[in-house]
Homo-oligomer: A and B are copies of this chain.
Amino acid sequence: MIIDCHGHYTTAPKALELFRKAQIAALTDPKAAARSFKASDDEVRETLVPAQLKLQIERGTDLALFSPGAGRMSHHIGNFETSSEWSRVCNDLIAQVCRIYPKSFVGVCQLPQSPGVEPKTCIPELERCVNELGFIGCNLNPDPSGGYWKDPPLTDRWWYPLYETMVELDVPAMVHVAASCNPNFHGTGAHYINGDTSAFMQFVTSDLFKDFPTLKFIIPHGGGAVPYHWGRYRGLAQDMKRPPLTELLKNVFFDTCVYHQKGVDLLTSVVPVENVLFASEMVGAVKGIDPETGHRFDDTRRYIDGAAHLSETQRDQIFEQNARRVYGRLNKVLAQRGLA
């Protein structure tokens, strides 16, 4: 089985966008009409069959851990109530996807984060998604301000109540920023990657995992800049008398959203294979075809298959076994669906 741990419902029905626009308009215009959102199962099918499902078949991948569009989380908009309503709608839609296509998608939720609001306010939505909707993970935004980085680092006690719930529920978080509203940062080209790099360095400099030995994070986009600068991080940890990075790798994992062969070669030869989870981010950041290969940039399965130094056992770890281990609830969900 090939499990893609990083897929977003970026192709959601147009009505979702209209709902969001109305919600945002209502923030400043009390006369704006409230709008509710509901998609029929057919509408959902129409958005997935020619996109994620088609690409899964073409690429021979089986299952995506599927969450709402990450950029569109835009936690910087409005307040906690705004994010709360928006998260509920988006997560319910993911649950609908998983109900319609139980063999192809497992849910990962968006959290109702809001700048300056304590992360513990996200606990009820996380519990609802895991306990009632059958989700197995969440996306955690290290910067709800959308590019101004105003909240405390992920290693601050500010976040601890949420971590306690994550541990209790046995769900990991993918560290994933949302849209950038800072003109210095292009979203998918800078803010996303910076978020990944920053989170890793926060982990390097803290004792977070002494307090939460079983807490797990996946850093997407191949870990930002981290594997490329692996020597720098090993050296910084050593200079600061921090534990070696291998200690951190009990809790921190990287996905394979790196869109060329040499990048994936580096990732999989620098980071231990046990810490690399297959992912493509499709349909996501880059949609085009690489003229140098004739294949889509985000067809990351080809790069794992093409990494000559990997054994078949190692590929199996990256494609399937690591995800089953890191997402503690995955095996049970798959068994319930007859996909064990």
Contact = CB atoms under 8 A, between A and B. Distances in A.
Interface in A191-244: 193-194, 197-198, 200-202, 204-205, 221-222, 224-225, 227-236, 238-239
Contacts of A230: 260, 262-263
A25 interface: no
Given A197-B190, A235-B286, A286-B236, A229 B259 contact: yes
Interface in A142-156: 142-143, 147-149, 151-153, 156
Nearest to A185: B198
Interface string A290-330: 11000001100000000000000000000000000000000
Given A194-B197, A198-B194, A236-B188, A258 B286 contact: no
B288 A239 contact: yes
A270 B262 contact: yes
Interface string A133-167: 00000000011000111011100100000000000
Contacts of A200: 190
A285 interface: yes
B266 A229 contact: no
A269 interface: yes
A153 B234 contact: no
Nearest to A204: B189
A188 B287 CA distance: 33
**Copies of this chain:** 2
A182 interface: yes
A143 B194 CA distance: 14
Contact of A182 (B149, B225, B229): B149
A40 to B, nearest CB: 31
A201 B285 CA distance: 14
Nearest to A230: B260
A237 to B, nearest CB: 9
Nearest to A286: B235
A184 B262 contact: no
A103 interface: no
Contacts of A147: 149
List the 10 closest pairs (A to B, CB-CB), nearest first: A231-B260, A231-B259, A225-B225, A235-B286, A228-B228, A235-B297, A189-B201, A194-B194, A190-B201, A186-B201
26 contacts: A152-B183, A152-B184, A156-B183, A186-B201, A186-B202, A189-B204, A190-B194, A193-B197, A193-B225, A194-B198, A197-B197, A197-B225, A221-B229, A227-B228, A228-B263, A228-B266, A231-B258, A231-B260, A232-B260, A234-B260, A235-B285, A235-B298, A239-B288, A262-B266, A262-B269, A266-B266
Given A194-B194, A235-B259, 19 more contacts: A143-B184, A151-B184, A153-B183, A184-B198, A185-B201, A186-B201, A186-B205, A188-B232, A190-B194, A190-B198, A228-B266, A229-B263, A230-B260, A231-B286, A235-B290, A238-B291, A262-B266, A263-B266, A263-B270
